[in-house]
Structure 1
Amino acid sequence: MRAVTVTSPQGLDSIEIAELPVPQPGPGQLRVRVRASAVHPADLAAANGAFAHLTPPGVQRVLGWDLAGTVEAVGSGVQRFQPGDEVVGLTFWLAAGAGVQAEVALVDEASAVHAPVGVDPALAATLPLNALTAADALDLAALPSGATLAVFGAAGAVGGFAIQLAAARGLRVLGVASAQDEQLVRDYGATWFVDRSTQPAARIRDLVGAGVDGVYDPALAGAEALAAVRDGGVYVNGYPVAPESQRGIRTEGVQVAADGVRLAELVELVESGRLRLRLADTYPLAEAATAYKRLAEGGVRGGVVLLP
């Protein structure tokens, strides 16, 4: 099978398409014929060597976190799936032996769910990592209905899910993004919009007084985003590392979990029309390096997806 790999990650030019043996499912695993797999900033980081310390020198590693595809075979103990089932799933790449940007991939039964009915696989593949990350961030924020939340990077893949999920929880959402994305951000459910090219923290305080109850910062705006939070509020970083607290603000860092139960809830939201998916572009697996470079250029609105 063909797979997107890095052996000595030193930049996007180190991405290779390799021929590898078809993996066999172990206990509790599904072997999936991949129909689509999204490319994420975490993949860019891996290709650029950010996680090289997790891989011994010279070891070839398949990239990719999430997929949509068809179950080909199941390992012992699998009960919820059988060959022919359409699924979406997530593998925690930092700990997994291999990723899913390949013609065939393994995922754990516990981190896979039946794919949303009637949704194209390329679109479905944009759901698992980004939506789960947004949902986990909102759980960390733990804001009650009616509270105010600012989302920096509101038009991005994670930010767009965060706004929709926050609005569904009854939060009053303020989206920070490029001026050209105002209508998109409002369509996602934002009550207010702030142009990121202004001084967002000051503008936010103009709109909501002493500052918002919480900020989710997948754009990694850092100090500017933290300054928008009221004293004693909460700030959730787009990285797992939480910044130092100030003014009594509780600070958190989000780390996505491969949670099939939560993913099933998100699929239900998609099927009911309460959660929108957005696709930016698709690329053949053989053009993975081009897809990575497109994401690295920035300004992508929706998922960048590889089609084996």
Structure 2
Amino acid sequence: MRAVSYDSYAPDNSRLTLGEIPDPKVGPGQVLIEVRAAGVNPVDWKVMAGGLDGLMDAVFPVVPGWDVAGVVRALGADTPEFAVGDEVMAYARKDVVQAGTFAEYVAVNAQAVARKPAALEWAPAGGLPLAGLTALRSLDRLGAGSGDTLLVHGASGGVGSIAVQLGVERGARVLGTASPRNHDFVRSLGGEPVEYGEGLAERVRELAPEGVNAVADFVGGQLETTRAVLAPGGRHISVADPEVEQHGGHWVWVRPDGAKLAELAALVERGAVTVEVARTFPLDRAGEALDASRTGHTRGKLVIMP
């Protein structure tokens, strides 16, 4: 099969190549997915640079990518949950970094897989799993809901834009940091935009003089601001800054979870959650997609479509 891979860590795309590699083996309890769309996430280039080497083993060559939407083409032994031809999606992270989704096929544990809503197009389906599950787990850890004022750092990004919608769906008042060019987008999600950068804490306090009850940081480096605007007894999480654990917060690391992904699919089906796709790329332009992600200024999701 055709796949993008790299044979050693690198801070850029210099080790990234497109070529033929063996088709994946399909073990018991796994499904073989023909990839129609694979979301691009910052963790992809961070892993490629060796940023998670202290947490996860890598077996080279590595195929990057942890998001997938596609069609089931084969079943491993004892996998009654799915059938060949099912349209599915999954957060496909494995215990070892090696066989990712920037490829024509990927084998995924059935527990991580959920059916794709029929009306959801391939590109947003490929961008939903990691970002959506991260947003969902973050709001679950916060217990954010009715009566809360929730601040979302990075509200126009892939994870943040879904978190805004989930917060609104749960009845929270949601403030979201974004650049001025993305303020209308944040409003369209049901949030109240706040310009990020110097003076952010003061701007948040103008909107919420008593402080906010909950903060979700999807950017990193926001701890000082978070602490400045958090009301007494408030809760906060970060997906990018483990230091929050030293200040009463939670460092969130999302897990593959087909059941939770099915919850998100149900929300998508009834229109409570949408996935903004900024750009799509063919497999041979995966390096461009990773470069676009590195800028940190993408609204919504970048998606590779083999």
Give the TM-score band, short-chain normalised.
Answer: over 0.9
Residue of structure 1 equivalent to 2:213: 213
Equivalent positions of 1:39-78 (< 5 A) are: 39-53=40-54, 54-55=56-57, 59-78=60-79
Q: Is the 8 A contact 1:87 1:112 kept in 2?
A: yes
**Aligned mates of 1:94, 1:64 — CA distance in 2:** 13
**Structure-2 separation of matches of 1:29 and 1:85:** 14
Match of 2:263 in 1: 265
Offset of residue 130 of structure 1: 0.1
What CA distance in whole angstroms lies between the structure 2 residues aligned with 1:199 and 1:233?
21
Q: Name segments (4+ residues, structure 1) moved above 4 Å.
A: none
Post-superposition offset of 1:62: 1.2
Cα offset, 1:244, TM superposition: 4.8
Amino acid at match of 1:208: A
- Deviation of 1:295 after TM superposition, in Å, equals 1.4
**Aligned-partner Cα distance in 1 for 2:150–2:127:** 24
Correspondence 1:125-164 to 2 at 5 A: 125-164=126-165
> Which residue does the alignment assign to 1:193?
193
Q: 1:105 to 1:89 in 2, by over 3 A?
A: same
**Cα distance 1:186–1:70, how it changes in 2: closer, same or farther (>3 A)?**
same
Q: Quote how far apart the aligned CAs of 1:278 are.
A: 0.9
Match of 1:251 in 2: 249
Q: Deviations over 1:219-258 (max 9, x none)?
A: 1123223322112211101237252545xxx301111111
User: What residue in structure 1 maps to residue 202 of structure 2?
Assistant: 202
Counterpart of 1:294 in structure 2 is 292
Q: Could you tell me which residue of structure 2 aligns to residue 102 of structure 1?
A: 103
> Is the CA contact (8 Å cut-off) linking 2:60 and 2:98 kept in structure 1?
no
Map Cα deviations across residues 196-222 of structure 1 (whole Å, 9 max, x no partner). Answer: 134111211222123101110101123
1:210 aligns to what SS in structure 2?
Answer: coil
Report the secondary structure of 1:277's partner residue: coil
User: In the alignment, is the contact (CA less than 8 A) between 1:281 and 1:303 conserved in 2?
Assistant: yes
| Ranges in structure 2 where 5+ consecutive residues have no aligned partner | none
Aligned-partner Cα distance in 2 for 1:131–1:257: 11
2:25 aligns to what? 24
Could you tell me whether the CA contact under 8 Å between 2:177 and 2:193 is conserved in 1?
yes
Superimposed CA distance per residue, residues 14-71 of structure 1 (whole angstroms, 9 cap, x where no aligned partner): 2222321111211110001101101100001012221245346x72111110111110
Structure 1: distance between partners of 2:281 and 2:267:
27
Using the size of structure 1 for normalisation, the TM-score is: 0.93
Aligned residue pairs total 303
SS in structure 1 opposite 2:81? coil
CA RMSD of aligned residues (A): 1.7
Please state whether the residue corresponding to 1:184 is helix, strand or coil. Answer: helix
Answer yes or no: is the 8 Å Cα contact 1:86–1:114 preserved in 2: yes
Measured after TM superposition, the shift of residue 173 of structure 1 is 0.7
Residues 130 and 161, structure 1, Cα contact 8 Å, conserved in 2: yes
TM-score normalized with structure 2 length: 0.94
Give the residue type in structure 2 aligned to 1:306. Answer: I
Higher mean C-alpha deviation, range 236-245 or range 12-21: 236-245
Q: C-alpha displacement at 1:97, in angstroms?
A: 4.4
Structure 1 gaps of 5+ residues are: none
Deviations 1:244-274 (A, max 9, x none): 545xxx3011111111111001111111111
